[in-house]
């Protein structure tokens, strides 16, 4: 067994699928966002909204620490693979046998999961247009570090977990 690393945009299902895999295969689950929250004593939402200056370095350090583990499941924040230092940590983890799986989702699925279809003030701009651009940039970075990609758009978490398990050779059905 080795380390499984899940990457993907916000709303792609990383946390949900990681919990499913953890329960199904008895693997330890390590979420970088949770590690950052524990270390800084605040929710990720408040750290981002308040633009906490400690956030980037702490996120980078926690990702590096978790990516150095020998076994388990690690989820990275959506923007972490775009950071050059974290991308290097991902490369080191892969060199040590980690398998990196990108969970992808189309704009419609992400919008639905993240509640972007809800009524909002016009002053907030066009979140779907911004998200489309961010997703495009992220996919390019993810492609450079992922060993496999699983589209979660129209699949249940259980179906996605099964596909990830096959990609990581956790099942004999590959």
Per-residue pLDDT in tens (0 to 9) along the chain, 174 residues: 589 999 998 888 999 999 999 999 999 999 999 999 999 999 998 998 899 999 999 999 999 999 999 999 999 998 899 999 999 999 999 999 999 999 988 777 766 766 665 544 445 556 667 667 777 888 888 999 999 999 999 899 999 999 999 999 876 544
Question: For residue 106, what pLDDT is reported?
Answer: 79
Both tokens of 138, joined, read: 């992220």
Contact in structure between 154 and 109 (CB atoms under 8 Å) = yes
Question: For residue 174, what pLDDT is reported?
Answer: 40
User: Which residue bears the tokens 């990516």?
Assistant: 67
Question: For residue 21, what pLDDT is reported?
Answer: 95
Q: Which uninterrupted H or E stretch holds 4?
A: strand 3-7
Question: For residue 135, what pLDDT is reported?
Answer: 74
Rounded Cα–Cα distance for residues 66 and 30 (Å): 7
User: Which residue bears the tokens 């004999």?
Assistant: 172
Question: For residue 56, what pLDDT is reported?
Answer: 95
Q: pTM of this prediction?
A: 0.86
User: Which residue bears the tokens 């969970």?
Assistant: 103
Question: For residue 89, what pLDDT is reported?
Answer: 97
Q: Which uninterrupted H or E stretch holds 148?
A: strand 148-151
């Amino acid at each position: 067994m080795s380390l499984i690393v899940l990457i993907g945009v916000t709303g792609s299902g990383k946390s949900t699928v990681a919990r499913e895999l953890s329960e199904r295969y008895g693997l330890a689950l390590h979420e970088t966002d949770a590690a950052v929250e524990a270390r800084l004593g605040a929710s990720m939402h408040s750290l981002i909204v308040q633009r906490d200056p400690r956030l980037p370095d702490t996120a980078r350090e926690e990702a590096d620490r978790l990516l150095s583990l020998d076994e388990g499941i690690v989820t990275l924040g959506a923007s972490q693979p775009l950071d050059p230092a974290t991308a290097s940590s991902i490369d080191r983890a892969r060199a040590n046998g980690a398998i990196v799986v990108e969970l992808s989702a189309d704009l419609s699925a992400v919008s639905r999961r993240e509640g972007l279809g809800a009524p909002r003030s016009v002053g907030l701009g066009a979140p779907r247009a911004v998200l489309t651009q961010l997703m495009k940039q992220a996919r390019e970075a993810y492609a450079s570090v992922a060993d496999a990609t699983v589209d979660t758009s129209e699949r249940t978490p259980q179906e996605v977990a099964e596909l990830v398990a096959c990609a990581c050779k956790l099942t004999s059905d590959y």
